[in-house]
Structure 1
Amino acid sequence: MDVIFGVSGLRGVVGKGLTPELICNYVASFANEIPMGTVVIGDDSRISSNMVKNAVVSSLKSLGFEILDIGITPTPTVQFITKIKNASGGIAITASHNPENWNGLKFIEGNGIFFNEKKINTITKNLEEKNFKFQTYDKLGKLTGDTNAKELHTNFVLQKINFDCSGKDKLTVAVDACNAAGSEIIPALIERIGFKVVRLNCDTNSLFPRNPEPLRENLRYFSDFIGERKDIDIGFALDGDADRVAILDEKGRYIGEENTLVLASKFFIEYMNPTNKTVVTNLSTTRALDDVVSSLGGKVIRSKVGEINVVEEMIRTCASIGGEGNGGVILPMIQYARDSLSAISLILLGLSKSGLPLSSIVSGLPRYYMVKDKISISRKSFDNNINHIKGHFKDYSCNDIDGLKFDLDSSWIHIRPSNTEPIVRIIAESKSMERSNELVQETKDFMRALC
């Protein structure tokens, strides 16, 4: 597919699905859903971002909106500035973890929160109707720049997460920012805390040196780099727009995205002393989170997959922290957004206060093995067979708010149709890799026979 649109925004292959005309139409459709005023924009350093930005700016100007361009910045920084500037809305120009030939747009409300499913559907309706209110020459919007955004975001995070590192050894922290949006702000944040930074791929003038999704297979060089150095305490690897972060220990071993939220929640409860220990995450996040949070007197509430769904559940339950198992951490005391600055600050706080090597802390976490796969089945076929699927897994408790998730004491399986492709995703987790693989294969075989 050359274009994808949903609650994660618009993404497309540049020059194929993603064209200037398409961008202008989506931006105009978004603009119909916000009050007239200022729109904050920022991008993630892709070669195509200047073209996309020009189309975004032209569309907004033609509709009479003022535009505040904060430059190459993480998506959470665009969200933060949108909120604190009382802007009408924001647009992050990014394709997140997609390869460099992709780009896209994430649409943000004036409160800094992404558009939810209902508002995304309204954008689709606006695209069909094309009832746009273009302005005359004397009422066109204006573009201004802001070079202060990253500093404002960093200052606020460090006001909320206080470090007292006196009397403690300074940590040495490696950062692989994929030459993308986090290349400047994350090393600067860590240095502001007082720790030493070792930079890898932190040049926004260069091409992406790896696939921007921070998975184990994309971070082998970073892993070897840390392992060979011997003087690094922790490594952080970012995705394209720096809303997600994966962790490597002092030996260069991949701790993974799943454990980012686990560690952040653990350290938040242990060292920030929240009165509310409720954590919200999606149905597909590791059960290690439940084990750790419950051992600290808290509880985990599950939502549908997708950042906006987690955020809305956090607001409903007044949760003090949340996120997803893809390396995203949401800290409401800073903002309702997956924010790598919040995640990294929390994890560095916990690591510095513990006085332990990261590998030692991670070895004490519950160990689960997750397997992910997919099968070519349409949503309609899945929906028509829901009762048969439930019957097949009748020995499991079932959660059906987002596909079907079945739970046993030490394992679970989540069967979820994609919103953008004719596929069904299958995720299983258990105490052994063998059992997780068995669960996925058994489910695929059953689904093929059924659908």
Structure 2
Amino acid sequence: MAKLFGTSGIRGLYPSEVSPSLGFKLGCVLAEVFEGECVLGMDGRVTSHILELAVACGLMSCGCKALRIGLTPLPTLAYAVKRSGAGFGVMVTASHNPPNYNGFKVYRSGGWELMPEDEELIEEKLASESYELKSWSDVGFYEDYSRVLAEYIGEVVDYVAEGRPLKGELKVVVDCANGPASLVTPKVLSALGVRVLAVNAQIDGFFPGREPEPRPDVLRELGLYVKGVGAALGLAHDGDADRVAVLNSDGSFVFNDRIIAYMAKRAIEEGLGKVVITTIDTSRCIDEVVERLGGEVVRTKLGKTHVELVKRSSVALAAEPWKIIDPRWGPWADGIMSSAKLVYDLAERGCSLKELLKDIPEYPQVRENFPCPHELKREVMRVVEEELEGAIGDVSEVWTYDGVRVNRRSGGWILIRASGTEPKIRLYAEAKSMEELREIVERGRGLIARALKLKA
């Protein structure tokens, strides 16, 4: 069996890579690997209902009780695992992938994502079909747990506001990406005292409003709407709301790393810790802000901030672009919580988003994708590993723990890595000037094009 777990859970095309049969087997294996009840939820994709039922059948066939939320944002599922004391949880979701994809995200007790050793064990048991169906008298059962949505909304509001009501009325646009954030984010922000204009708030697995990945190019129309209605800011989720992208009142896109840097600053100034965990693809602006406050930045692979989080103490924040973990709240990425904090801070201070972020450096960035079949990724990356350092020049450091990132003495950098969720090679770059950024990106593009041509 090919490796199933990627950067963030299991994802693939339906039904060739992710199927009801896989869902049933996964449910059976998880019931044997973990103890206790399982919280089960799903996003709004067309295939999520059948996959959720398949996982539930596997769980119950092997004696596990399934607590079914139904349609839910991913952060609510993780919260529900912690709140209920369940042994584990499963979310049927493909996050920001196109609508013909689906997948499974598994959480351990307490709302923790799986550790690498958990993923290896589950893959081994799936490959060997190492599980035993229970007799008729020992099967599990299915119980409704949809009430947890209201409990989550109430706790987020209480956590953010801490009994301090907002002053005045802030107008905010929330793009729910036709996903289950529609059930939660507008209610959270309204309860905080914000005037919410919700768009793409009808759940639809075809994603008719826009692509589920909240990239700058995807959010251009939303930016025009934010500016046109005079909103203070725009918020845009992905398909399951562990992510949130942010737009200024003029409709311009705010680089995700600046939001991470702001949240890190906020946490350190509140005395919540000194360590900030982030990923290999993030901006130097985070380092500058954290180090200015006497903190330390620790970088790791994409999708694995939780692995570093469990190892360390005094962690103020863990984050990758769009996905921020507040360790006090829980060990999961929560785009809804991040939205609530940002909106609350704006309203409480009575300032604009640009004013709120005025101390956060802003450097030009590029993020691009290049189609690459899964079977060619390893060979393409081998060429990149051999040639990127020489192609970029002015090198200060090279990091190779998740793709290849070349850092320049000038402060600019480029990262090329194979996507862990889609058939793509990804390029990320940043510099302190547009001229240097264009130079770095052109060199990276050229290397990727040569590598793809050589290996095609």
Q: Common fold, TM-score beyond 0.5? A: yes
1:390 positional shift: 5.2
CA distance in structure 2 between the aligned counterparts of 1:215 and 1:405, rounded to whole angstroms: 22
The letter of the residue matching 1:426 is L
CA distance in structure 2 between the aligned counterparts of 1:168 and 1:294, rounded to whole angstroms: 33
Q: Does 1:293 align with 2:294?
A: no
Partner of 1:210: 210
**3-state SS of 2:426 partner:** strand
Partner of 1:106: 105
**3-state SS of 2:332 partner:** strand
Residues 1:204 and 1:422: Cα distance change in structure 2 (over 3 Å): closer
Moved more, 282-291 or 256-265: 256-265
Partner of 1:282: 279
Q: Deviations over 1:297-320 (max 9, x none)?
A: 4332211221xx211212323212
1:15 positional shift: 3.3
Q: Deviations over 1:250-282 (max 9, x none)?
A: 222222433332332233345xx1242321100
Match among 357, 367, 372 for residue 352 of structure 2: 357
Q: Does 1:330 align with 2:331?
A: no
Moved more, 369-378 or 119-128: 369-378
CA distance in structure 2 between the aligned counterparts of 1:95 and 1:128, rounded to whole angstroms: 22
CA distance in structure 2 between the aligned counterparts of 1:402 and 1:212, rounded to whole angstroms: 24
What value does the CA root-mean-square deviation take over the aligned residues? 2.7
CA distance in structure 2 between the aligned counterparts of 1:394 and 1:206, rounded to whole angstroms: 47
Partner of 1:436: 437
Residues 1:394 and 1:421: Cα distance change in structure 2 (over 3 Å): farther
TM-score, scaled to structure 2: 0.88
The number of aligned residues is 443
CA distance in structure 1 between the aligned counterparts of 2:171 and 2:120, rounded to whole angstroms: 46
CA distance in structure 2 between the aligned counterparts of 1:26 and 1:171, rounded to whole angstroms: 45
Residues 1:225 and 1:387: Cα distance change in structure 2 (over 3 Å): closer
Counterpart mapping for 1:407-446 below 5 A? 407-408=407-408, 409-419=410-420, 424-446=425-447
The letter of the residue matching 1:323 is A
Partner of 1:130: 129
Q: Deviations over 1:194-238 (max 9, x none)?
A: 1111111112267522111111222222212111112x1111110
Partner of 1:321: 317
Cα pair 1:7 1:116 within 8 Å, conserved: no
CA distance in structure 1 between the aligned counterparts of 2:226 and 2:166, rounded to whole angstroms: 25
**3-state SS of 1:169 partner:** coil
Partner of 2:398: 398
1:248 positional shift: 1.1
Counterpart mapping for 1:40-439 below 5 A? 40-162=39-161, 168-204=167-203, 207-208=206-207, 209-230=209-230, 232-270=231-269, 273-306=270-303, 309-318=304-313, 319-325=315-321, 327-362=322-357, 364-373=359-368, 378-379=377-378, 382=381, 386=385, 395-408=395-408, 409-419=410-420, 424-439=425-440
**3-state SS of 1:335 partner:** coil
Residues 1:254 and 1:378: Cα distance change in structure 2 (over 3 Å): closer
Residues 1:33 and 1:3: Cα distance change in structure 2 (over 3 Å): closer
Q: Deviations over 1:76-110 (max 9, x none)?
A: 11111112211111001111001222221101112
Residues 1:220 and 1:444: Cα distance change in structure 2 (over 3 Å): closer
CA distance in structure 1 between the aligned counterparts of 2:138 and 2:297, rounded to whole angstroms: 50
The letter of the residue matching 2:434 is M
CA distance in structure 1 between the aligned counterparts of 2:143 and 2:76, rounded to whole angstroms: 17
Cα pair 2:317 2:326 within 8 Å, conserved: yes
1:420 positional shift: 6.1
Cα pair 1:163 1:349 within 8 Å, conserved: no
Determine what percentage of the aligned residue pairs are the same residue.
29
> Which blocks of at least 5 consecutive residues in structure 2 are unaligned?
none
Cα pair 1:3 1:12 within 8 Å, conserved: no
Moved more, 183-192 or 291-300: 291-300
> Which blocks of at least 5 consecutive residues in structure 1 are unaligned?
none
